[in-house]
Amino acid sequence: MNTSRRVFALIDCNSFYCSCERICQPGLKRRPVVVMSNNDGCVIARTSEAKALGIPMGASFKDVRKELSKHGVVVRSSNYTLYADISNRVMRVMAEMLPGIEVYSIDEAWGDMTGVADPEALGCNIRDRLAQEIGMPVGVGISTTKTLAKLANWAAKKWKATGGVLDLTDPVRQEKLLRLAPVCEVWGVGHRSAAKLATLNISTAWDLAQFDAATLRKTFGVTMERTARELRGVSCIGFKQGPPPKQAICSSKMFGKRQKELPPIREALTAYVSRAAEKLRSQNSLCSTIQVGLQTQLADLDGPRYANSMTLALPAPTDDTREILALAQRGLEQIFRPGYPFSKCSILLMDLSQRGELTGDLFALGPRPGAERLMAIVDQINEKNGRGTLRFGRVPKKPKWAMRRDMLSQRYTTRWEEVICVRG
């Protein structure tokens, strides 16, 4: 293999949310499983068995409830605590086996295989180890650009003969797959773009790769031109050792039921601020400005509607949950209106900077003594024992405003009281 060229691998978990449920509940193996969105609203994940039954992605639970019951489909509410923990375990294994990884989402990551003597063998080893140690099935696509690696991953999952791993570094194999792959399966080409491309007689990935780059740029923009070049084997999207720090952090969820009183909304905002500040500290950032939002169900045309937000500046950049929360609660009081059936509140952290990046204001109040160490200890305890182990007293253990998750499985890997029990 020519070691001078870059080689990318995309490792993508199969039906990640459903696979997490199966890892901790072996009885679900080979049974159709779907996972629902927040408040058990709609289908957001399906196993292959559920797909074969024709259960559409995004289907409203109330619309497919009878069909799910008829076919014995197992329905689970979103268990984000479980999913995040298993994702961390998957990423740790990848980091141990690859020279470098770039986490792309909760269920997939790019791997750097540049200079690896046998990329396909390494891909098989990664797949086998994740299956044996964690129980997570994955597909591995390998090629000389990210777009080709993504397409190889699609093919690895689609055709069982690949064994779940496809090395597409060879130009001959690249052309063969490009001629077979529909253009809508190319990374960055959605169904709308595919429809527009069809008017130019572009129906396959090969057609897109061969099309005039200047015309693509003029008609669709630089992103489509870059995609075509990547399909030709020209690497335009580099490899990073992890995602850049977020420029803004938002925490927001729909309430399980409408809230008309201020106290429960205060509780919810406290929980959301705590989560947002935790994310802030995880990327070593400080926040200078916040935005508090509150709204009713705006899609409800028959009921009273109201939405408002307030942007507030902190005295100095901080990652202290207490400072952010105190300001957020003041903002909430100003935008709250009695009598409205509120369905959602939110906190947005803005004007983020990295710790040590800004020069301090001589006239601003300094941070509370020991604040940085206190927040670090809180994060360590919650990471070790489960989110919410240490929380503000205002947040009850089982809040009435929490989103509906009537079919929630246990947090098997992060809660001692919910760990799997094996009875003799």
Lowest mean pLDDT among 120-124, 251-255, 394-398: 394-398
DSSP 8-class letter at 255: E
Instruction: For residue 42, give the DSSP letter.
Output: B
User: CATH no. for residue 363?
Assistant: 3.30.1490.100
Q: pLDDT for 171-223, tens place per residue? A: 999 999 999 999 999 998 988 899 999 999 999 999 999 999 999 999 999 99
- The DSSP string of 231-273 is HTT---S---SSPPPPS-EEEEEEEEEEE-SHHHHHHHHHHHH
Two structure tokens written together for 320: 């202290």
Find the mean pLDDT for residues 377-387.
84
Average of per-residue pLDDT across 303-332: 94
Q: Tell me, what's the pLDDT at 57?
A: 93
| Dihedral sign for Cα atoms in the order 363, 369, 371, 376 | positive
Tell me which residue has tokens 């044996």.
Answer: 132
Residue closest to 177 by CA, chosen among 200, 156, 146: 156
pLDDT of residue 365: 67
Whether residue 249 has pLDDT greater than 60 = yes
Is there a domain that residue 9 lies in? no
Print the domain residue range for 277: 249-385
pTM value is: 0.79
Is the residue at 123 inside a domain?
no
Q: Please count the structural domains in the chain.
A: 1
Average pLDDT over residues 331-360: 89
Is there a domain that residue 370 lies in?
Answer: yes
What b/e readout covers 218-229, taking b as 16+ CB neighbours within 10 angstroms? Answer: eebeeebbbbbb
Name the least confident of 57-66, 112-121, 354-363, 408-417: 354-363
Share of the chain above pLDDT 70, in %: 95
Least confident range of 36-45, 177-186, 384-393:
384-393
Distance CA 342, CA 260 (A): 6
- Type of residue numbered 102: E
d(CA 109, CA 9): 8
Per DSSP (E only), the strands in 48-164 are 74-76, 101-105, 108-112, 138-143
* 105 vs 14: CA distance, rounded Å: 13
Residue 243 pLDDT: 63
The predicted model gives 151-169 an average pLDDT of 95
- Give the per-residue pLDDT at 408: 87
Q: For residue 326, name the pLDDT band (cuts at 50, 70, 90).
A: very high
pLDDT of residue 386: 73
Q: What is the pLDDT of residue 245?
A: 81
Per the domain annotation, does 376 fall within a domain? Answer: yes
Q: Angle CA(48)–CA(53)–CA(54) in degrees, nearest 5?
A: 95
Residue 289, domain member (yes or no): yes
Residue 316 lies inside a defined structural domain of this protein = yes
What pLDDT digit, counting tens, does each position of 59-109 carry?
A: 999 999 999 999 999 999 999 889 999 999 999 999 999 999 999 999 999
Has residue 363 got a pLDDT over 70?
A: no
Say what the pLDDT of residue 253 is: 87
Least-confidence region, from 41-55, 170-184, 274-288, 291-305: 291-305
What is the chain's mean pLDDT, rounded?
91
Judge whether 45 lies within some domain: no
pLDDT at 4 over 60: no
Considering Cα of 145, then 194, then 36, then 67, what sign does the dihedral take?
A: negative
H helix and E strand count, the chain: 14, 12
Is 221 a domain residue?
Answer: no
pLDDT of residue 123: 96
Q: What is the mean pLDDT of residues 42-70?
A: 94
At residue 3, does pLDDT exceed 50? no
CB 142, CB 167: distance < 8 Å: yes
What tokens does 74 get? 């197992």
Mean pLDDT of 286-301: 91
